[in-house]
Homo-oligomer: A and B are copies of this chain.
Amino acid sequence: MKKNIFRRGPSSAALTPRSPGALSPSKALDAWLKRTRALLEKSLRTAVPAATTKPGTIHRAMRYSLLAGGKRLRPLLCCAASEACAGTARAALPAACAVEMIHAYSLIHDDLPCMDNDDLRRGKPTSHKMFGEGIAVLAGDALLTEAFAVLAAAKPLARYNASDLVAELALAAGSRGLIAGQVADLAAEGRKPSEPALYFIHAAKTGMLLRASLKLGAMSAGGIKTQVAALDRFGFALGLAFQIQDDILDATQSAKKLGKTAGKDAAAGKMTFPALFGLEKSRLLAGQWTSEAIDSLKTFGPRGATLRHLAVRLLQRDS
C-alpha cells in the first residue's frame, strides 16, 4: 500500500529474481525472521546472569528490560549483515546480544524521570516504575557494562580481534554517538526545530547504534573493508528512514498499537520530522532514505536480499 512512496528504489518484489516454486520475498523474510529471532531470544536469555544470581533485584531488572520482546531490529541487522558477508547468524551472536543490551540500557535511562519521564514501554511499566529509580539507573549501567563482557568473550575472529569490535561499539554508544544524540535531544526540547539539529539528533541517537550493529555483524563474519563500509552507509540511511517512520508513528498511532505513550514527542515539544516537515514530506523522506539504503547494498548481490527486504518491511510497519 505504501509502495508508492518509493521514489528512487525498486519495488520489494523486484529485488530478487525468483525461480518458480521459490518462496516470495515476503515469505522468505518471514521465515528468516522467525528462525533468527528464535536464535536471538535464546542467546539473549543466557547473555545476562540468571534472575537467581545474587543480588536478585538487579538481575531481575536487567532481564525484565532485555527480555521484554521488542522488534530486535539491531541484533537482526547484525545477523543479516554477517550473512551478507557470507558468514552465519550464529557467528554474529555475541555482537548481536551486545548491541541489543546497549539498546535496552539506553531505553531504561531515556525513560527515567530526569530524561523523557515515560511510564510505558513495550506495553509494560518502565523499569523505574517497576523497580524504582535507583535500581533502574543501575540496571541500565549493568546492561551497558555486561554488553562489553559479552562482546569481549567472542571467539577469535577471522580478520578482526574482539577488541576491534569493542572499540567500534564503544565509539557508537559513547559521547560522540548514541549519548551525543540523547544530549542534543534533551537540549532541543521546546526549541525551534531546525533541519541540521534534527538530522544530528537522529543520526547520533538512532543511526550510530544501527550502523555499529551492521558493522559488527560484518566484522563477526570477517567481512572485508569495502563490505563494512557499504554496511555503514546502509546503516546511516536506514537509521534515518527508521527514525522518520518512528516520528510519523508517534504522531499518528495509538499508545496501544505502539506499546508506549503516543503523541509524547509533540507534547514534550520534541524536534521531530513531522513537526519540521509535516507528515506528507516526512513520508516522502522516509521512502527516499530507504531507497538510499537499498542502493548501498549492490556490492552484496543476492546475499544482500535479507537486508533489502528488511529495509522495505521497516518502512511498511505500523508500530
Contact = CB atoms under 8 A, between A and B. Distances in A.
A49 B141 contact: no
Interface string A46-70: 0011000111011100100000000
A145 B144 contact: yes
Interface in A99-121: 105, 109, 112, 114-115
Interface residues of A, number: 52
Interface string A224-245: 0000000000000000000000
A175 interface: yes
A171 interface: yes
Q: How many copies does the complex hold?
A: 2
A152 interface: yes
Interface string A135-160: 10110111011101101111000000
Contacts of A184: 55
Contacts of A176: 49, 53
Interface stretch (A19-27, A30-38, A162-170, A265-273): A162-170
A152 B163 contact: yes
